[in-house]
Amino acid sequence: MVDEPRRGEGFGRELLDWLDARARDHDCENLALACWAEND
């Protein structure tokens, strides 16, 4: 979770880009993300 004032600065995108690169480095064929509607 990112502090309210820092939201929208691209931290989530940076994290997903990093994760995608690591998955590709390890020849992963699938990458899944799950979240719950109750997340606030």
Give pLDDT tens digits for 1-40.
Answer: 789 999 999 999 999 999 999 999 999 999 998 888 886 6
Locate the DSSP E strands across the chain. Answer: none
The whole-number pLDDT of residue 40 equals 65
Task: Provide the residue range defining the domain that includes 8.
Answer: 1-40
* DSSP 8-state secondary structure symbol assigned to residue 24: H
Report, in this order, helix, strand and coil percent for the chain, each rounded to 5: 45, 0, 55
Q: How many domains does the chain have?
A: 1
pLDDT at 37: 83
